[in-house]
Amino acid sequence: MDKQDQSSNSHHGWLKRSSNISLEEVNNSVRIPENAGFWRKFFAFAGPGSLVAVGYVDPGNWATSIAGGARFGYTLLSIILIANLMAILLQTLSAKLGIVTGRDLAQATRDATGKKLSFVLWILTELAIIATDLAEVIGSAIALNLLFGIPLLGGILITTADVLLLLLLQKKGFRIIESIVIVLMVTIFGVFVFEVIASKPEISELLNGYLPKPEIVTNPEMLFISLGILGATVMPHNLYLHSSIVQTRQYKRTVAGKKEAIKFSVMDSTFSLTVAFLINSAILILGAAAFHGKGIQVSEIEEAYKLLSPSVGVGIAGTLFAVALLASGQNSTITGTLSGQIVMEGFIHLRISPWLRRIITRLIAVVPAFVVTWIAGSRGTADLLLWSQVILSLQLPFAVVPLVLFTSSKEKMGEFANNTWVKWLAWICTGAMIVLNIFLVGYIIVTGHDLG
């Protein structure tokens, strides 16, 4: 079976080559115990899902979800639910691509499109990663300002220092990175469970918010925020990331080994994304319960921080909110760097030192954040944060279309190719995203939309 599997992959040029291994320094580095029980195997495979889920609760989500909750109450909870279900489907396809083919999405796209188009797609993906990093820079700077009174400009400069933290973590092994990410995720989750309970949301209205409403599409303002939530939830760089980091496990590269790896990887990512869904729901619920219907319009994280304690009636609410924000920003910086390395090596076969890669990515994000803050202050950073998520939403189809094409191809995936219902569901999700994005661009061009 192993030889047959390898022969099939080799024939189609998708067999992993030793000279072109995704994240070569950690590939196949995490041991999976043989003949172990279910839970031991699950915990051995668990980890990549947490790194992926981090991208779904980065500071960009906070801006869009708080704005959505404050402006429209619980209505956009349905968008968070739909986006999360789409994320689970797409991340499943991403993990399957990496496990079956031994190639990440960037490598697979390069193989299918050639050098020139791959370069264009690399640029687009880099823009998405920069937009993600921009959200992390601004989110961390805002948290430092709220907690310690550090000016935003100073906080933005301090965030460049997380380069050293990441380099230290990378030397300790991939499991250490996953463990730290999980601890920070648990911290964020715990904070928001407390915040939601303290805000005393209206349960019936909350549950009703998970049912889609026609006004989400007919109201341009609501649609704009919805697309921001979609862009902040289904992250394009996460699809490249997941297809790579699932290969860190030492699963057997046979049909049976791949089936087992897919099973546990899907469980891992589904669990982690469910936690991310609960966090994102909690952020919007908090915005709705604390601010909607009280004559309080909140579109900036700083406003939420200042008004949260008085609105909820718990003195420590604002401080905990800022602590979770700082954890979120620091958490996301890890996956941003890994994604940058994956797409650079996969699309254009360029390998550079991780420290140089991190500095380049962070500086590209720091410069616009610094300039906008200098000119427009905190209001400018709020707009920049929300717009960064819209950019992610616009870039999403360029990652999703190849992913669905590859995983639906029997030529490339063999018996692991998507079955009919998965294929249709994936294309419906992709088509919906593309149509909504075209509408968004047209709306912005025609109206000259201003977030204010």
Task: State both tokens at 431.
Answer: 């088509």
* Bridge partner list, 30: 249
Q: Which tokens go with 27?
A: 């590939």
CB burial of residue 326 (10 Å; 0-12, 13-18, 19+): buried
Q: What is the mean pLDDT of residues 221-244?
A: 80
pLDDT band at 200 (very low <50, low <70, confident <90, very high): confident
For the record, the structure tokens of 338 come out as 């890994």
In a 3-state reduction of DSSP, which class is residue 31? coil
* Angle, CA 22 vertex, CA 16 and CA 28 arms, to 5°: 80
Encoding tokens for residue 349? 């076969």
**Please, which residues bridge with residue 249 across strands?**
30
User: What integer best gives the mean pLDDT of the chain?
Assistant: 80
Q: How far is CA 234 from the centre of its chain?
A: 6
Q: Is the predicted pLDDT of residue 183 greater than 80, yes or no?
A: yes
Distances in Å between the alpha carbon of 242 and those of 19, 54, 398? 21, 12, 16
Length, in residues, of the chain: 452
Q: Which pLDDT tens digit goes with each residue over 297-312?
A: 665 666 666 666 666 6
Average pLDDT over residues 343-354: 81
pLDDT in tens, 32-79: 888 888 899 999 999 899 888 887 777 767 767 888 888 898 999 999
Higher pLDDT, 320 or 368: 320
Task: List strand residue ranges (DSSP E) for 247-398, in order.
Answer: none
CATH fold group of domain 23-399: Hydantoin permease (1.10.4160)
Q: What is the pLDDT of residue 42?
A: 92
Please give the single-letter amino acid code of residue 398.
F
Looking up tokens 């907690």, which residue turns up? 147
pLDDT at residue number 25: 75
d(CA 399, CA 433): 12
> What gap in Å lies between CA 296 and CA 304, rounded to an integer?
10
Q: What is the pLDDT of residue 91?
A: 94
Distance in angstroms (rounded) separating the CA atoms of residues 351 and 355: 12
Q: What is the pLDDT of residue 315?
A: 67
**What sections of 200-254 are H helices per DSSP?**
203-208, 215-218, 220-233, 236-245
